[in-house]
Structure 1
Amino acid sequence: MDERTLTEERIVTAALLVIGDEILSGRTKDENIGAVAEHLTNIGIRLQEVRVVADDEDEIVSAVNALRSRYTYVFTTGGIGPTHDDITADSIGKAFGVSVGIDARAEKLLRDYYTGRGLEVTAARLRMARAPAGAELIDNTLSVAPGFRIGNVFVMAGVPSVMRAMLASVTPMLETGAKLLSITIPVDRPESEIADIFSKHQQRYRDVAMGSYPQLRNGRPVSDLVLRCSNPQRLNEAAETLKAALNL
């Protein structure tokens, strides 16, 4: 295999936009980045950028427009709840230049859900039915209030369990590419002792992504070398020749 094979494969890319003052302040510890990254990797989509922005319309609009023009897909988390500071829907509408209002489909879902439990359908709860004009709803199998998709942007909840439910719902909508496989080679030596060999090996296998991750094991500096490639034969070859070069 030569380097052209990698570029000929379908590569599907994505970005994640995490929205919320509570994330930036440290009040809420984000759990969604790792979950989204792992899920997308497993289905053959390469998460290439993550941004975190405040609950600020201009910042959200700017980030969404930058990311959606750069990547195959953009996923957002946060800001679609019932309170005044949940402004993601309005921001996405502004980014796409469309109006935002109560979506009749989402309203029915919420009315059926709350009235079926003997709860009042308040104006605050109906805020969760707001979506940009022309958006497609994202099913929420946990708490009903949907996310939405417009263009290549998927807008999901910030609550981790609900986000995961929405992510599962959108997966059938996604085009996927070649899955990125990986091999980890533990080396009982510090990075500084293997850097030259590792660098030369990367030059030999330019189509295999390689990274070095220093660790402390039993109080000693060691390295984990991680190789990634969508072609299993090429990946295995690169791993075996690297082990030989390192006398492993």
Structure 2
Amino acid sequence: MTIADNDTPVTAGFLVIGDEILSGRTKDKNIGFLADYLTALGIDLKEVRIVPDEKGEIVDAVNALRRSHTYVFTSGGIGPTHDDITADSIAAAFGVPIDVDPRARAILEGHYPPGELTPARLRMARIPEGADLIENPVSKAPGFRIGNVHVMAGVPMIMQAMMDAIAPTLKTGRKLISRSVDADLPESRLAERIGEIQETYPDTLIGSYPRATDGRFTTQIVIRSRDETLLAEATAAVEAAVADALGRQA
């Protein structure tokens, strides 16, 4: 894993592909996983898009994301069925041909018993020209990497295993660290002060998260920064704001 210049953020976009996600038949579990995974690596997930199994939609989204972010990750649509069109769409986005890749075919031939590598299963060996393979230790059918785009399966177990294979190849930035302050107050009582603190410390990210328990509203404020000194100062300012608000309430 390569560490990038600490002043240069490493960003990512995530493209979730599949009619089943948009229809609600399948509940996505990959977005939250990837957000946590990338944050732990020091990569900022900046954008998530969900598109149907339509070639034009996939091509447009891939091209937009790969131009905007250090990395793009996709999930879904690289299986054996007729509507698994992600690989063809990625090839179209990069303007390269696609065909059965000898490396991928060898992996599938080693996985399936003789005679069971059907034409449908062989579709999973179709890889855009110039792409590198991404290992799939779960079901063997590989994903692939072309340019800054990483193409993975949609099944969470497989996608997560593929991310473990990808991670050592990624450059990473300085990791965000965070602190939280719990306030026994509704969010509205703190919003103005928290906004002022955010303006004072623009190199921090301050989020306010209301909670309700038995009809009582409280707030958790989460402060994030890549600089420990700034984080400590902003956290102290938030704590002081909460204490002041509680004092005025008493």
TM-score by length of 2: 0.93
Q: Does 1:68 align with 2:83?
A: no
Report the residue type matching 1:74 in the other structure. Answer: V
Give the Cα–Cα distance (whole angstroms) in 1 for the partners of residues 72 and 154 of structure 2: 15
State the partner residue of 2:127: 131
Question: Does the Cα contact within 8 Å between 2:181 and 2:238 map onto a contact in 1?
Answer: no
Alpha-carbon distance, 1:233 to partner: 2.2
Give the Cα–Cα distance (whole angstroms) in 2 for the partners of residues 119 and 170 of structure 1: 31
Give the Cα–Cα distance (whole angstroms) in 2 for the partners of residues 71 and 180 of structure 1: 18
Question: Does the Cα contact within 8 Å between 2:190 and 2:241 map onto a contact in 1?
Answer: no
Task: Tell me the SS of whatever aligns to 2:218.
Answer: strand
State the partner residue of 2:34: 36
**Alignment length, in residue pairs?**
240
Q: 2:223 aligns with which of 219, 224, 227?
A: 227
Give the Cα–Cα distance (whole angstroms) in 2 for the partners of residues 207 and 215 of structure 1: 26
Give the Cα–Cα distance (whole angstroms) in 2 for the partners of residues 143 and 239 of structure 1: 46
Alpha-carbon distance, 1:218 to partner: 3.3
Cα 1:217–1:119 change in 2 (3 A) is farther
Task: Tell me the SS of whatever aligns to 1:246.
Answer: helix
Q: Does 1:166 align with 2:193?
A: no
Question: Does the Cα contact within 8 Å between 2:76 and 2:86 map onto a contact in 1?
Answer: yes
Residue-by-residue CA offset, 1:216-247 (whole Å, 9 max, x unaligned):
02321111111111112211221022101221
Cα 1:8–1:42 change in 2 (3 A) is closer
TM-score by length of 1: 0.94
Give the Cα–Cα distance (whole angstroms) in 1 for the partners of residues 146 and 125 of structure 2: 15
Task: Tell me the SS of whatever aligns to 2:190.
Answer: helix
State the partner residue of 2:117: 121
Give the Cα–Cα distance (whole angstroms) in 2 for the partners of residues 53 and 244 of structure 1: 45
State the partner residue of 1:78: 76
Report the residue type matching 2:184 in the other structure. Answer: D
Task: Tell me the SS of whatever aligns to 1:50.
Answer: strand
State the partner residue of 1:155: 151
Report the residue type matching 1:67 in the other structure. Answer: L
Give the Cα–Cα distance (whole angstroms) in 1 for the partners of residues 214 and 202 of structure 2: 33
State the partner residue of 1:199: 195
State the partner residue of 2:17: 19
Q: 2:212 aligns with which of 189, 211, 216?
A: 216
Question: Tell me, which stretches of 5 or more residues in structure 1 are unaligned?
Answer: 1-6
Give the Cα–Cα distance (whole angstroms) in 1 for the partners of residues 86 and 21 of structure 2: 15
Q: 2:240 aligns with which of 232, 239, 244?
A: 244
Alpha-carbon distance, 1:119 to partner: 5.6
Report the residue type matching 1:25 in the other structure. Answer: S
Task: Tell me the SS of whatever aligns to 1:69.
Answer: helix
Identity %: 55
Report the residue type matching 2:11 in the other structure. Answer: T
Give the Cα–Cα distance (whole angstroms) in 2 for the partners of residues 11 and 94 of structure 1: 29
Residue-by-residue CA offset, 1:149-170 (whole Å, 9 max, x unaligned):
0000000000000000000000
Alpha-carbon distance, 1:39 to partner: 0.3
Report the residue type matching 2:173 in the other structure. Answer: G
Report the residue type matching 2:204 in the other structure. Answer: V
Give the Cα–Cα distance (whole angstroms) in 2 for the partners of residues 222 and 35 of structure 1: 27
Alpha-carbon distance, 1:67 to partner: 0.5
Give the Cα–Cα distance (whole angstroms) in 2 for the partners of residues 149 and 16 of structure 1: 14
Report the residue type matching 1:134 in the other structure. Answer: G
